[in-house]
Amino acid sequence: MAAGSGARSYKRRQWIVNPPLQYRFIGVLLLVLFMLTIGALVSVYLALWLTLRTFGLVEDPLAVSLLTTVGLVTTLELLLIAPVVILMGVRLTHRIAGPLVRINAALLQLAQGRHDVHITLRRGDSLTEVAAAVNSLAESLRTRR
């Protein structure tokens, strides 16, 4: 949300701006990914094992090798997807945590009587309505003074 032509645009200097919020969100994402992977691994492993038992292939080395390969591939997928989930979690939370930090700083300045506050958010950031309301409040306080 840029205000007029004189508004500064902000560039990301850091991605972790509110560690408790962002780490908690990423932890939940990783937990969900882990639980889904475990569920998929158990269901695929169980389905293959029951199929092997049904057709009497439990002692067949090729069939057991196939079962082991499925488990290893699923585990490898978890290890490859986890960093992507972490990066997506940081990116998603940054669009909320960044504006929250900026809005909180502006509100603290307003509480201290400094009314020359103006919040400028980056393109794609969330909470633009809240930032606009804070900007409107600051403008209203400036004109009353």
pLDDT tens column, 10-62: 566 778 888 888 899 889 988 998 898 888 888 888 888 898 889 888 888 98
What residues contact 109, with CB distance under 8 A and at least 6 apart? 117
Q: What are the C-alpha distances in Å from 122 to residues 3, 9, 41, 101, 131?
A: 11, 7, 41, 13, 11
Q: What is the pTM of this model?
A: 0.63
What residues contact 92, with CB distance under 8 A and at least 6 apart? 25
CA–CA distance, 34 with 80 (Å, rounded to integer): 12
What residues contact 62, with CB distance under 8 A and at least 6 apart? none
Nearest 10 degrees: CA dihedral of 10, 18, 119, 13?
Answer: -10
88: pLDDT strictly greater than 60: yes
Nearest Cα neighbor of 125 from 100, 102, 95 is: 95
CA–CA distance, 27 with 72 (Å, rounded to integer): 24
7: pLDDT strictly greater than 60: no
- 114's tokens: 């400094």
